Structure 1
Amino acid sequence: MAQGRYRIGVDVGGTFTDLSLVNELTGELRHFKTPSTPHDPSEAIGNGLIQVISAGFDPAAIVHFGHGTTVATNMIIERKGTPTGLITTKGFRDVLEIARQQRPHLYDYSIHRPAPLVERWLRLEIPERFTADGEELVALDEAAVRAAAGQLRSAGVTAVAICFVHAYRFDAHEKRAAEILREELPGVAISLSSDVQPEFREFERFSTTVMNAYLTPRMAGYLERLMHRSRGLGVRAVPHTVHSNGGLMSMESAKAYPVRTCLSGPAAGVVGAAQVAAAAGFSNAITFDVGGTSTDVSLVLNGRGAYTPLREVAGYPVRCPMVDVHVIGAGGGSIAWVDDAGALKAGPHSAGADPGPVGYMRGGNEPTITDANLHMGRLNPVALLNGAMPVNRVAASGAVAKIATRIGAGPDEAADGIIRIAVANMARAIRSISIERGCDVKAFALVAFGGAGP
């Protein structure tokens, strides 16, 4: 590749981390791939950058560094955020639990809603109140704010969300409370609902702000480690993060508003697929991103991705502009299993990057879709990562044979069944965003991509 200025894009997936390098002068592309490191995603990015440098590219010539990540989403799904407190108007501490009284499964009497990200004893009420018209009914009790800060300090929280009623229009009380908390709790991340999500409807505003606070310390730590690793390797460009709406966020913005990165990786895929479709002459397309952990599908209409102002992430409502992506747990690492009735299933649980499919020889012991494809001879066992990561077809076949015995079938039949089930789930996802919304799929191009895609 000719020397010049380079732009690098990184996609941090649940199984692999991919890097693409483009020469701004010639348009030439180079691709690099490395296993993801779930314990610290910045480590995999660093490993990928080492590959780039080893291939002869000058890291100082990288002038743009953009990356899509699932770090925020994974923290929510796995509940690995930080201890968080909530300061709210007197009488509103239970908004997060009262929610909207919606029943997603009408006849399921044993349904379990996810527990609020802030425990009730850390949701503290403060006397204060504005009306919707801006009249101050109750002045902010600053002494109560300081007392609440003492309680939160004793509890060891590292983040606090401030959510007052009608603060979306009248934010004076929230801002003053934040000033007090910063005095009393130095180093603690503070999220204001009037900054994070200044729109009416308390539950969604509270939920989004609490999630932002819950994510902030660890997201900031991840981004700082990423900056440290990239600078240590000679990359001068500051990492930018893909926003859930498909745009780019500065590093400082991503640190302050991590909730806006919940669909970072999938959104980047939709934007890229829309451009590819347009270049091929298609204004309407269905994007089909098959990864190691999930499959993401979305609709492109008249050259633009579909957007939504509100969606749930791991059962929690998040209100911010996002690409409308439908995600299902079906990918290369999805685990095949047998339910209590003896029916064969595939997903949603995934072997991920660690230990990964059985054929990766990293300690995995449950058959995955990748193992089924290996057994059927559909994957080249010496081609993964350009031969740097050989896989074992015999081990994959052994795992498939075990599940075949459980369903009373032969290994070939079981492997074919695993793949067919995954394909059926993916087709159902496409149907849900197209036919079920009144779109004629014959008028759409299918843009398929992803590490486990075609």
Structure 2
Amino acid sequence: MDGTIPHREDWKIGVDIGGTFMDFCALEVNSGRLATLKVLTTPDDPGAELTTGLSLLEERDQLLPETVSRFVHGTTVGINTVLQRKGAKLAMITNAGFEDVLELARLRMPDMYSLFCHRAEPLISRDHIFGVTARLNAQGEETTALDARSVAQAIQKALSAGAEGIIVSFLHSWRNDTHERQVKDMISEMAPSIFAFTSSEVWPVIREYERGCTAILNGYVHPRVAGYLDALETRLASKNIPAKALLTKSNGGVMSAGDGRENCVSMLLSGSASGVTGAAWLARQAGEDRILTLDIGGTSADIALIIDGAANFGTGEMIGDFPLYIPSVSVSSIAIGGGSI
């Protein structure tokens, strides 16, 4: 024995899944060795190709799963669910008299000069939106108490309509979320088989349409995203990878898989934002300060602008036909290709 410490590999893996391919990039930190891989996705079981890709990295590049110290994942499962309209069947509970909030939106048409322009159908149809007796004023003070009977009737109607989840969105709940929390508690008691999100817990911004729309997007993708993340963690454990899964967020950061199950809306632009963040880094290395990025996959096409080597951030980015009102890398996505069809 010469007393030297045996060399131990330290792998960091980045994985990006789209509607057609799953891409792997694995870095062995000590040697700087880089391994890349692309495998076809399985649309009926998103994420199943993860096991295939990891096995190929083991065989081809001698990657040892137990030496993986970091696993970061960007996914388009959420955004593809919206683009393909394959999300959950939802109902909505709001203040009586405000059941048309999604139909009215902001009264803007996508193309104001077209005689044939029309707005996209909301993700919750008008007959699945139920008003209940409750009201807060703009200061968050109660002017009309929550009527438990009307709430119970609304929940029963949602169940009869076959809703898989309920979104609760009241006026001025960004100041006072008491009524929303009370309704969510009643849903848990009366309908434990379905999920519920309140607008104030998803993104508590001042305007009811923006807040409600963001909560609806969160609930719409929730079942598919949660199921996907459950399968992801199970597959990582089956491959003996010790690193916890980190998910890229719409703002270019990362969060845990546990957070992603509930805060689905924060990862709607997960894969798209990762591409823009990487392109911004590449632009800085190339000395270019004004870049237009175009990322075309099998399901969506994403466009973003990079100024002075940095991605732009904003709210109200379009996810297909719907605005997303959380801070995110400014990416515009449209449906394209076979995955959308």
**TM-score of the aligned structures, taking structure 1 as reference length:** 0.69
Aligned pairs for 1:137-176 within 5 A: 137-176=143-182
Q: Deviation at 1:276?
A: 2.5
Partner of 2:43: 38
Match of 1:240 among 246, 249, 257: 246
Match of 1:308 among 293, 299, 314: 314
Match of 1:41, SS state, is: coil
Match of 2:325, SS state, is: strand
Q: Deviation at 1:148?
A: 2.1
- More displaced 10-residue stretch of structure 1: 289-298 or 55-64: 289-298
Q: Deviation at 1:252?
A: 1.6
Letter in 1 for 2:104: I
8 Å Cα contact 1:19-1:48 kept in structure 2: yes
Aligned pairs for 1:5-404 within 5 A: 5-55=10-60, 56-282=62-288, 284-327=290-333, 348=336, 350-352=337-339
**Structure 1: how far apart are the matches of 2:334 and 2:198?**
32
8 Å Cα contact 1:140-1:173 kept in structure 2: yes
**TM-score of the aligned structures, taking structure 2 as reference length:** 0.91
Partner of 1:372: none
Q: Deviations over 1:227-264 (max 9, x none)?
A: 11221222232222211111112112211121222211
Q: Deviation at 1:156?
A: 2.8
Q: Deviation at 1:271?
A: 0.9
**Structure 2: how far apart are the matches of 1:208 and 1:228?**
29
Describe the shift of the 1:319–1:276 C-alpha distance in structure 2 as closer, same or farther (beyond 3 A). same
**Structure 2: how far apart are the matches of 1:328 and 1:197?**
24
Match of 1:320, SS state, is: coil
The count of residues paired between Structure 1 and Structure 2 equals 334
Letter in 2 for 1:89: N
Match of 2:146, SS state, is: coil
**Structure 1: how far apart are the matches of 2:195 and 2:136?**
25
Gap regions ≥5 residues in structure 1: 330-347, 355-454
Describe the shift of the 1:186–1:218 C-alpha distance in structure 2 as closer, same or farther (beyond 3 A). same
Q: Deviation at 1:295?
A: 4.3
Q: Deviation at 1:294?
A: 4.6
8 Å Cα contact 2:21-2:40 kept in structure 1: yes
**Structure 2: how far apart are the matches of 1:299 and 1:267?**
12
8 Å Cα contact 1:162-1:191 kept in structure 2: yes
Larger RCO of the pair (alpha carbons < 8 Å, separation 6+) = 2
Partner of 2:4: none
The percentage of counterpart residues that share the same residue type is 36
**Structure 2: how far apart are the matches of 1:122 and 1:351?**
31
Letter in 2 for 1:27: G
Describe the shift of the 1:160–1:128 C-alpha distance in structure 2 as closer, same or farther (beyond 3 A). same
8 Å Cα contact 2:76-2:270 kept in structure 1: yes
Cα RMSD between the aligned structures? Answer: 2.1
Letter in 2 for 1:224: D
**Structure 2: how far apart are the matches of 1:10 and 1:325?**
20
**Structure 1: how far apart are the matches of 2:167 and 2:18?**
29
Letter in 1 for 2:306: V
**Structure 2: how far apart are the matches of 1:184 and 1:353?**
37
Q: Deviation at 1:143?
A: 2.6
Question: Are 1:4 and 2:32 counterparts?
Answer: no
**Structure 1: how far apart are the matches of 2:236 and 2:171?**
42
Q: Deviations over 1:335-392 (max 9, x none)?
A: xxxxxxxxxxxxx4x23599xxxxxxxxxxxxxxxxxxxxxxxxxxxxxxxxxxxxxx
Gap regions ≥5 residues in structure 2: 1-6
**Structure 2: how far apart are the matches of 1:90 and 1:205?**
17
8 Å Cα contact 2:140-2:173 kept in structure 1: no
**Structure 2: how far apart are the matches of 1:214 and 1:40?**
18
8 Å Cα contact 1:189-1:217 kept in structure 2: no
